[in-house]
A and B are shown apart, each in its own frame.
Chain A
């Protein structure tokens, strides 16, 4: 099997990887903020419910969560399983929302009280203060840790193969087991490296753009 043929087959796997990455990022960025509001709520039951949920999600392996979401319904309740890709996406979105929510919380809590007081002096409402004063400072501060998490997400997509979703690594494993050639398994590293290089550049640009009031 030639280099280009392997590349073409791996590209198919890579498109699945990109899909998982894109959908997860798109959904968990806003969902993370919702969870942050939950865990910072002044209403105690909601706060503890959210914190317990985040603890469970962050405290168990993502691989286990994927397995549970896909096989759980059929094994426990004799229900029909979700499509494989849907199960993967749900697991990733929930997992990454929880991690993002904690980064958001750190960002929000790092803003000094003086900023809120200044808003109050100007006669702004609480939501005005949050969306007009606090949020942009938070975004600026959380770009580096978010970048970390986003690059981790690129590589975590390879976990989708536990329920036989043919992402990049699985695509390579398929070639290895069918054609009895080994190098494609290591060649996938180039795809991940190239993709994270692009992301690093993009994140660098975002940080530059955020470089106001400094």
Chain B
């Protein structure tokens, strides 16, 4: 009997502690209201944690399993100028804003498209690439689609929350189609491949790298005659502090002036879309 009572007391104690610990944590957060700025926080850590997803040619693993790509080398070059160590963290793209705000990452640096909605959530660096959204279709059907008008009544897959969605919903004809909201650009590719969607909208850089011979998507083509809204790529940073943005912009400016950033773009086949000349 006694043992049971003691056990009950201990158990309820543990549970209360569990509940209270949340409250305590909040207090300690508030008490340090003279907290360091965002840039000081990054500098104190000595690392810039960069949120990425694997996607060629931006950030991907080479044959030896080493992370490489345009953004990877770009990040390293900027961090060298800033005197911090880059740390690459693979994230779920749909949670990039949450990752940034909860400080599990310090920057989104992965072909991030600038948009007005996103401006409310994060600060952007200068844009370094001007990309565009393209429509993809099965090669055998591609001939049917010459302009957006010919796409009426089709089903169109794109990544939810991406520039592809904006392109689809802002177009008069396309917005009336059967729109399929996917979790990632690669899912839009798979929808088209599986025939569950007639068309897909993905960005040009992604399309260039994944469609064509030697891939599983060799039966998919880009419809060249249709061009959708151009989009700009920039680095996403926390809104709370402009100092981080200024520091990074300064470093990008230096890299653009000495030509090393253009050389990187050429190395990864992005010379067409490079924006900082």
Where the two chains meet, the residues of A that have a C-beta atom closer than 8 Å to any C-beta of B are 34, 37-38, 41-43, 45-46, 49-50, 53, 67, 70-81, 126-127, 161-164, 166, 173-174, 176-183
Contacts of A183 in B (CB 8 A): 216
Would you call A181 and B25 a contact (CB within 8 A)?
no
A166 to B65, CA, bound (A): 14
A50-B215 contact, Cβ under 8 Å, with A163-B92, A166-B90, A177-B184: no
Chain B minimum-CB-distance residue to A45 = B12
A43-B8, A76-B26, A162-B92 in contact; A177/B186 too (CB < 8 A)? Answer: yes
* A164 lies within 8 A of B98 (CB): no
Per-residue contact bits, chain B 189-200, to A (CB 8 Å; 1 contact, 0 not): 110010000000
A-chain residues with CB within 8 Å of residue B145 when the two chains form the complex: none
Residues in A whose Cβ lies below 8 Å from that of B210: 180
Instruction: Choose among B4, B29, B60, B92 the residue that contacts A161 (Cβ–Cβ < 8 A).
Output: B92
Chain B residues lying within 8 Å of A161, measured Cβ to Cβ, are 92
Count of chain B residues with Cβ under 8 Å from any Cβ of A? 43
Q: From residue A129, how far is it (CB to closest CB) to chain B in Å?
A: 12
Known A79-B29, A127-B3; contact A178-B8, beta-carbon cutoff 8 A: no
List the A side residues contacting B101 at CB < 8 Å: 74-75
Question: Please, which residues of chain B bring their CB within 8 A of the CB of A49?
Answer: 12, 15
Does the CB pair B92–A164 fall under 8 Å?
A: yes
Stretch of B48-56, B167-175, B222-230 contacting A (4+ beta carbons < 8 Å): B48-56
Asked if A77 and B92 sit within 8 Å, CB to CB, the answer is: no
Which of B22, B54, B91, B98 lies in contact with A75, CB distance below 8 A? B98
Of the candidates A37, A67, A178, the one whose C-beta lies within 8 Å of that of B54 is A178
Q: Indicate if the CB atoms of A34 and B11 lie closer than 8 Å.
A: yes
- Complex: how many Å from CA A32 to CA B8? 15
Query: Could you tell me which residues of chain B, from 73 to 95, have a CB within 8 Å of some CB in chain A?
Result: 89-92, 95
> In whole angstroms, what is the CA distance A77 to B30 when docked?
8
A-B contact pairs, 10 of them (CB 8 A): A41-B11, A46-B8, A71-B98, A74-B101, A80-B103, A126-B4, A163-B92, A176-B186, A177-B54, A183-B216
17 new A-B contacts, CB < 8 A, other than A71-B95, A71-B102, A73-B25, are A38-B8, A38-B15, A42-B4, A43-B8, A46-B12, A67-B98, A70-B102, A75-B98, A77-B29, A78-B29, A80-B103, A81-B102, A166-B90, A176-B186, A176-B190, A180-B210, A180-B216
Complex: how many Å from CA A176 to CA B35?
42
Given contacts A71-B98, A71-B102, A74-B103, contact A180 B8 (CB under 8 A): no
Contact A41 B54 (CB under 8 A): no
Docked complex Cα distance between A38 and B15 (Å) = 10
Bound together, the chains give a CA A76 to CA B90 distance in angstroms of 23
Q: How far is the CA of A131 from the CA of B189 in the complex (A)?
A: 58
Task: Decide: A178 near B11, CB < 8 A? Known: A43-B5, A77-B26, A79-B29.
Answer: no
Residues on A with C-beta less than 8 A from B28 are 77, 79
**With an 8 A cutoff between CB atoms, is B104 at the interface?**
yes
* A178 contacts B61, C-beta separation under 8 Å: yes
Q: Which residue in A53, A80, A174 is a CB contact (below 8 Å) of B15?
A: A53
